[in-house]
Amino acid sequence: MNRKLELTAVIEKEDDMYISLCPELDIASQGETLEDAKSNLIEALELFFESASESEIKKRLQNDLQITTVTVNV
């Protein structure tokens, strides 16, 4: 039975590539376009879930992730 899991994707442009990161699992990918980077990250995550043991998933999955902004004096 397949279930859906919503995870965070952080994507940034670096030179002429886009880098994508899932901070909950510390899995990254890249692509030539924003959509490629997102699609490649999804593929990497799906491959991880297909091959990782339940204990590895529990060990790596960070459920207490907080995303916020901060203000700094410059």
**CATH code for the structural domain at 1-74:** 3.30.160.250
Q: How far apart are CA 74 and CA 24, in angstroms?
A: 30
Give the pairing type, strands 17-22 and 27-31: antiparallel
Of the pLDDT bands very low, low, confident and very high (cuts 50, 70, 90), residue 67 is confident
Of the pLDDT bands very low, low, confident and very high (cuts 50, 70, 90), residue 1 is low
Domain boundaries, the chain: 1-74
pTM of the full structure:
0.86
Task: Pick the more confident residue, 65 or 26.
Answer: 26
Q: What value does the mean pLDDT take over residues 18-41? A: 97
pLDDT of res. 2: 78
pLDDT of res. 63: 75
First to last CA, the chain: 51
